[in-house]
Amino acid sequence: MKKILFALLFTTVSFSMSAQTIFGKWENRDEETNKVDSVIEVYKKDGKAYAKIIEITDKNRQEAVCDKCNGKRKNNPILGMNILTGLKKDGNEWSGGKILDPKNGKEYKCYIKLENDNKLKIRGYIGFAAFGRTAYWHRKN
* Per-residue pLDDT, 39: 98
Q: Please check whether residue 73 is in contact with residue 67, taking contact to mean a CB–CB distance below 8 angstroms.
A: no
Is 71 in a helix, a strand, or coil? helix
CA-CA-CA-CA torsion sign (92, 85, 108, 57): negative
pLDDT tens, N- to C-terminus, the chain (141 residues): 455 434 433 434 434 344 589 999 999 999 899 999 999 999 999 999 999 999 999 999 999 999 999 999 999 999 999 999 999 999 999 999 999 999 999 999 999 999 999 999 999 999 888 889 999 999 999
Distance, in Å, from the CA atom of 51 to the CA atom of 49, rounded to the nearest integer, reads 7
Q: Centre a 10 Å sphere on the Cβ of residue 123 and count the other Cβ atoms it contains.
A: 19
* Per-residue pLDDT, 4: 47
DSSP 103: T
- Residue ranges of E strands in the chain: 24-29, 36-45, 48-56, 82-90, 93-101, 106-116, 119-125, 132-139
